[in-house]
Amino acid sequence: MLPFLYEKEMSKFLGCWFLLLGVGAGIGGLVFGAESGQPVRSGRAFVLWQLPNQTHSQMMCYVLRTVHGKIIVIDGGMTGDAAYLKGFLAALGNEVETWIVTHAHDDHFGALSQLLGQTDAPRIKAVCGSLPDLNWVKAHGVGPEDAKPYEQFLEALRKANQPRMDLALGQEMKIDGLRLEVLGVRNLEITNNAINNSSLVLRVSDKRKSVLFTADLGVEGGRKLLNSPYAKRLPADYLQMAHHGQNGVEENFYQAVHASYCLWPTPLWLWDNDSGKGKGSGPWKTLEVRAGMDKLSIKQHYVMTQGLIRIE
C-alpha cells in the first residue's frame, strides 16, 4: 500500500565522509512502491527512517522529515549511537525542529545527551517529552544504572541551555502538515516497571499515513491507555512495537492499533531471543510476541537488524 525502501546497514565508520555519503544515498528523490515495485516520487508525505544500532545494545531512534524538510527526531539511542546519528542529521541540514524523548532510559536519550555537549552538533529548536523528575527515577528505577545516566542527561540539557517543552495528555502539535497527538504521558502512579510504563505514546500522521509510537510502554501503561478516551486514536498504519518487541503491551493493545506494518527497534539477538546459545536461549519474550503478531493481518515487519530503513 505505502512505498518503502530497505537500506542495508552501513559498515562501521571509516570516516565522516563515508557516513555522509551513505546517508545521502538514503535521502534521494526516488523510493520503490511496496507492492508495485515501481518508482514513486518522494515529497508527497513525510519520510520516516528507522535507524540501526551501532552497539550491541538495543536502542530506539526514528527520524522524520516533513514535506518541506523540517526534521523531527524521536529518541536517538545510546551514547554509542551518537556519531552515526550526528552524521545522519548533518546530511539532512543539521537542524532539528523538535527532538522528542519518550522516557528516562539511556538507550533512548543517551545519544542526545552526548550530542548536547558538542559545538558542531545539530541545532535543536526544542526538546519535548513527558519526563519524570530525578527523584522519582531514583525511587522507582532499578538503581544507579537508571539514575546516573538520567542525571547526566538532565545536566547536559541544563549546560546546553536547551529549550524544553513538557507535553500534556491530549496535546496536539502541527508541524508543516504533520499532526502529532499525545495519547500517553508519564504515569507516576505506576511503580511496577515504572520508567517503561511512563513512556510517551505519540501518534504521528498526515493525509497519507499514520504511525503510532509506543516507546517502551509496559502492560500496566498499555491497560491504562486502552481504558482511556484516547484509545479511539490508537489505530494507525504503522506500529512501533513496545519495549523493542518484547515484554511490552499486551496482545489486545496491538489488536486495537490494527496496524498493517510493524516497526521493530530490535537487534538480532533480541529478535531471536538469543542469549548467546542460539535462538530461543534467552529470557526475553520476543518470540512469543512475534507469534502473536503472526495472528494479526500484518503486511510487513521492518526490523532494526535489517539495517537502515526508510518509509516514504
Per-residue pLDDT reduced to its tens digit, 159-178: 999 999 999 999 999 999 99
**Residue 242 DSSP one-character state:** G
Half-sphere exposure of 236 (CA within 13 A, CB side): 27
Share of the chain above pLDDT 90, in %: 84
The pLDDT value given to residue 43: 54
Q: What is the pLDDT of residues 130-162, one digit of tens each?
A: 999 999 999 999 999 999 999 999 999 999 999
Average pLDDT score over residue span 223-232: 98
Closest to 105 in 3D by CA, of 86, 79, 85: 79
- Go through the domains of the chain in sequence order and give each one's CATH number: 4-311 (3.60.15.10)
Residue 220's pLDDT band, with cuts at 50, 70 and 90, is very high
Report whether 182 contacts 168 (CB < 8 A).
yes
Q: What is the DSSP string of 265-279?
A: ---HHHHTT-SSSST
The pLDDT value given to residue 29: 31
The span from the CA of 119 to the CA of 111, in Å, is 15
User: 19 pLDDT exceeds 60?
Assistant: no
User: 287 pLDDT exceeds 50?
Assistant: yes
pTM over 0.85? The answer is: yes
Alpha helices in the chain (DSSP H): 16-26, 82-91, 106-115, 134-140, 144-159, 194-197, 219-226, 251-257, 268-271, 286-294
Q: What is the overall mean pLDDT for the chain?
A: 89
Residue 297's pLDDT band, with cuts at 50, 70 and 90, is confident
Cα→Cα distances 168→86, 93, 97, 229, Å: 29, 29, 19, 14
The pLDDT value given to residue 44: 83
